[in-house]
Amino acid sequence: MKSAVFIDRDGVLNRMVFDETHGILDSPRRRGQVEAVPGAGAFLREIRAAGNFVVVVTNQPGIAKGTLKIASLNSVNKELARQLAVDGGQWDELRFCPHHPGPCPGGNPIFVKTCACRKPASGLLLDAARDFDIDLATSWMIGDGLVDVAAGRRAGCRTILLTALKWSMAERFLDCAGGEPDFVCRNLAEALKLIRDGETPARQRES
């Protein structure tokens, strides 16, 4: 069995974009909106060179809401892959959840439902582990949200939360029930060092 690094897409590998309609930061919906996070390509290159299988796992509820077409999602993923490849980075597999539990007025009813793959559920990770013979206990889940951490913990992975906040500050603002990370890193460079050092799951706290 192989070890893997599961990694969230939006906010981790690519920058979020401002949605003027709803006044929030959201996933890019068009090829021209894609901007890879600096260092993301190098991170993927080095993590794969260390022998890890890389799986991108991302929630894309815009498909259920009717604000994103699968063809547009494929175009965004293709452009992100192109940008990451400039620094030698690539993923081995990408899995996405198109669902949303609703209500989604005007959305696509095929995808409006409760599912087992929408993070914080662990379905995306479990399915990939089955398909690619991945040892979840020696694998990692990296994300910038507690839903990513929760999905990783439920799958049995070691987890890394990416945040610029010190953990003692993040705990004050975030409901961490079920989503307490094993480690907190400010960026992918710190996450790379942590994984290379072979850290074991132990709660990291910063004062």
Catalytic residues: 8, 10
Alpha-carbon distance 124 to 92, whole Å?
14
Beta bridge partners of 57: 95
Q: Which residue has the tokens 């889940």?
A: 141
The DSSP-derived string for 72-135 is HHHHHHHHHHHHHHTTT---SEEEEE--B-S--TTS-TTTBS--SSSTTS-HHHHHHHHHHTB-
- Contact between 100 and 133 under an 8 Å Cβ cutoff? The reply is no
